[in-house]
Structure 1
């Protein structure tokens, strides 16, 4: 992507943009004097931690902050007209047609009671004035372009029928529907795995080349910044820290905060010489001083009996159509998955969105009911257990979910949320009160925070609360389902280190579900790679990352963004083919799989796609 930054009239020119929010105590300024230009064909990255003001900047440009409670000053010039002075009716014509936005959380942007096809078609009919039939045809083309399998069949599905990554692809398709001149992308790849992330980035680049679109790309992932951005603007606590060409930012960052952001990026291959998982170096955001956590992860003893054994696990979801709910197919989410985890060991499940990682974790927890297979926890079979027996055994296996805000009851104080598992377990109330405070301190919070509500905490703090709740009944196994994927890089490092410290202290076993390959390399003893509901390769961390054998594993590793603009621009991921459709007709049974041994404790599926 080549663009001369010194010539031409900018598409979008922001001058001295400041935004304040009204509270009970008065007006609070959250961003101050933000200025930049965005040219046609250019990508400008806004980077910084959660709370730095990135999203408020984008919402201020689009005039989507709450009316009556927001005060915005400065200029936002789009092709010469100041958007801050347009009427709401005029802004409705600008949004979608001229400037489109992709939001970070698709479930808050998609209507849960309307089909995906209707929502895509509605945007097309509103802005293009085309017929319903034409809108549906164009919607199908857009879904295919963002690589959603069986696009025509999925037009009638609802948002809850899609995985998180698939929903984000729908949002990208919706934003690009009317060919906008400027695209504001607010963390558009945060919830996506590395291969789909690479494809979405390539798609945005292709559209940019074709239409001369300017992209304001908001992210906390410095690897993605190196991949997509021509220029980078770094923000901290509502202020501009520095703005320069991306190559210059990475080669010669002028500010300590920028250096800290870059140094905090997990780098693939950094564990090549380490025989066991190792915590991240902790970076102080203000001074960029490095220090090493004072704990080590205990090695796993291979002679110990596994604490969790999964064998032949199969989970499918029926698809029904028509007035009488006729079965027309099944989503083969998990097929013949087998693994075990020993005390103090971390097994990571990796793969694309929709590959069955989260469904595997939920099936192990019995949050969804598998159709076949065995899940033994401490030697006791979980599949087939009744409600009361399942409640007792779940004290030994707990889960940390991806979205901590959705996991916590917004009406309950966090102390009550942490206490709930202990109340269910029948512990003494005085003991529970003491233990809630102890747990908060153990995850790096203070005891008096127990009386606060979830909305009073940052995303990283909410995830710490969820970890405290998971530890409440002293489990043997933690299932961490994308527990750090939505967090910015410095908070992600802190949460990962916290999980590893707790594992070392309590000899916890972890099933770590993630699409972040650099984090997986750092925390794992063993890694299982999933594709289309099946494990295609499983082995030690060193074997998977140093000597990947399956073509899909190699593609996953090749797609990881590198926090180096020179390397990232030349990266070409290995082709593996499109993600196949997991929806199969009734009665379909997959072929029997066979594996070869590629080394000690390293198995690779023979039949490749």
Structure 2
């Protein structure tokens, strides 16, 4: 491409290892034209993020080596000095990273951090830089931008912090924006807002974008052209629409097949496994059929009634309560053996707090939680320890859930030994059986967590959760951080185990497409309350509450033909659940739409503001 803003040719990036140099990016080439968006897509370990860091020359000096050519408007970047490259970074090329909190300095105000780039690169005075920063914050739709100039990163939500990063990236009007997984950790509605914002700002500033992701739905929504990476190589490049319609490589076909599509479960009466395709042949590797779930006719395994959790806020250690966070407010539901109830909503809606309150990892303020007819909130510490054998939790980050110094065999055996279920010899045999059950080999028991991939680590956490043969598993965003194909494998494993063992799942997630695939029933949460609950088909095919409709409308559709259609995306986030100390929650009323499908009655305010994220 003669007029390319960025031209990457035969890029090879190697890292020093004990045995010499190992290449992790091998001969990658692509161009990005003016105002064009190119997506680099692939699973973790494919080399896509290393490609971006190599373009910016941010790989560790001395431990990495970059060969080939990277040209910005014809100027070779790989031969520039560090000083020259510093003048380009943040000025002509800007980068947004996946986790904004690690990119922002927690001890500096967000206004100072943006203004710093303006003073350094554009030579503005401090007063002019502050005025321009406020303009940029308003441009990325930070409410009350002037008053928030002096606030610190921890005072912003995840979506707002990512907006701050975009404002910082756009401060010097770069020719190229590199966005490395900027929406992966965000809720579906916030993701839709960020994608829409990037597209609008790109049009205004005539900027080119290199978008790195593993989410094919996001690729379809934002990219003009796509580069598919696998094991460090660019195995397929072309127009996004062509790649989606006629993928040439088996690996590309396997990526596309693993994308959960909203509406794909229409007509299905029970959850279904994801199809898994072989990466080398593109042929189906596993059957899609899901075994019939074992369902008990007895009373529900879990019965939650009026569950409430409020956190008190005071101005000092010995001062009175001035306000409360109403994290969970009068929540009721049940889950039967062999059933999956999905709890869905945006960050801050109270779904994870609900899961932790059920497990009594935090103490509820009121309500009842019955497991097999026994109220957990009335149990002593010793009785709760005994009852906890029947319920287990799987967390979002498997690496944080495992002791990095403990072999995984020991980690899985630990609950067996602590609870006196097995001696060390019996535990060893049980660990081998559990590893085989979750698709790993018995000899892996002697490895440490860092020796496994993210998907394998989540399988280990599932094995540990199954060790005590629980009746209930609370899965809190258990697949949210996984690549699309690994996510499909872990979800399939959970469905198989449920069918075989009659497990009851409380599946907490914000991923609507995955929820549609795995759930029997769905409960939608907003500001600590359930606004709609019912069978999966009823919620997805006949949503009633404005907030449920908003969630479904925000899901990216893996169809490039819809890319140029402008979606109506509300810009507001979930409101704060903080209330004054004397606040009394209103008594909610629900109406039954169809058998088992209930929706909170909303007033006229919801009709005007509900779909833009405002409270009732």
| TM-score, normalized by the shorter chain, greater than 0.5 | yes
Task: Provide TM-score, normalisation by structure 2.
Answer: 0.90
Q: Which segment drifts farther, 132-141 or 27-36?
A: 132-141
Change (3 A) 1:466 1:137: farther
Residues 1:441 and 2:442 are matched in the alignment: no
Match of 2:559 in 1: 564
1:166–1:353 CA contact under 8 A, matched in 2: no
Matched residue count: 602
Instruction: Compute the displacement of 1:488 (Å).
Output: 1.4
Match of 1:460 in 2: 455
Residues 1:480 and 2:475 are matched in the alignment: yes
Choose from 342, 346, 349 the match for 1:355: 349
Instruction: Compute the displacement of 1:53 (Å).
Output: 1.0
Q: Which segment drifts farther, 423-432 or 118-127?
A: 118-127
Q: Which segment drifts farther, 107-116 or 486-495?
A: 107-116
Match of 2:613 in 1: none
> Per the alignment, in what secondary structure is the counterpart of residue 329 of structure 2?
strand
State how 1:191-270 maps to structure 2 within 5 Å: 191-270=185-264
Change (3 A) 1:78 1:207: same
Residues 1:496 and 2:504 are matched in the alignment: no
State how 1:294-333 maps to structure 2 within 5 Å: 295-298=290-293, 300-301=295-296, 303-320=297-314, 329-333=323-327
Rounded to whole Å, the distance in 1 between the matches of 2:582 and 2:404 is 43
State how 1:56-205 maps to structure 2 within 5 Å: 56-111=50-105, 127=121, 167-205=161-199
Change (3 A) 1:147 1:549: farther
Rounded to whole Å, the distance in 2 between the matches of 1:283 and 1:237 is 17
Residues 1:335 and 2:335 are matched in the alignment: no
Rounded to whole Å, the distance in 1 between the matches of 2:406 and 2:306 is 39
Rounded to whole Å, the distance in 2 between the matches of 1:134 and 1:371 is 50
1:149–1:581 CA contact under 8 A, matched in 2: no
Structure 2 residues not aligned, in runs of 5+ = 611-616
Rounded to whole Å, the distance in 2 between the matches of 1:467 and 1:417 is 12
Change (3 A) 1:118 1:503: farther
Q: Which segment drifts farther, 440-449 or 491-500?
A: 440-449
Rounded to whole Å, the distance in 1 between the matches of 2:255 and 2:242 is 15
CA RMSD, aligned part only? Answer: 2.9
1:264–1:489 CA contact under 8 A, matched in 2: yes
Rounded to whole Å, the distance in 1 between the matches of 2:221 and 2:113 is 31
Rounded to whole Å, the distance in 2 between the matches of 1:43 and 1:570 is 16
Rounded to whole Å, the distance in 2 between the matches of 1:587 and 1:186 is 45
Rounded to whole Å, the distance in 2 between the matches of 1:581 and 1:136 is 28
> Per the alignment, in what secondary structure is the counterpart of residue 402 of structure 1?
coil
Match of 1:590 in 2: 585
Instruction: Compute the displacement of 1:42 (Å).
Output: 1.2
Rounded to whole Å, the distance in 2 between the matches of 1:144 and 1:305 is 54
Rounded to whole Å, the distance in 2 between the matches of 1:82 and 1:66 is 20
Choose from 502, 514, 517 the match for 2:509: 514
Q: Which segment drifts farther, 175-184 or 342-351?
A: 175-184
Change (3 A) 1:475 1:519: same
Rounded to whole Å, the distance in 1 between the matches of 2:339 and 2:149 is 42
Provide Cα deviations, 1:1-44, integer angstroms capped at 9, x if missing partner: xxxxx6x7222211111011111111111111111112231110
Rounded to whole Å, the distance in 2 between the matches of 1:472 and 1:173 is 48
Rounded to whole Å, the distance in 1 between the matches of 2:299 and 2:569 is 38
Q: Which segment drifts farther, 156-165 or 22-31?
A: 156-165
Instruction: Compute the displacement of 1:146 (Å).
Output: 5.4
Task: Provide TM-score, normalisation by structure 1.
Answer: 0.91
> Per the alignment, in what secondary structure is the counterpart of residue 569 of structure 1?
coil
Instruction: Compute the displacement of 1:193 (Å).
Output: 2.0
Q: Which segment drifts farther, 177-186 or 393-402?
A: 177-186
Instruction: Compute the displacement of 1:170 (Å).
Output: 4.8
Match of 1:17 in 2: 11
Rounded to whole Å, the distance in 1 between the matches of 2:568 and 2:479 is 25
Rounded to whole Å, the distance in 1 between the matches of 2:219 and 2:319 is 47
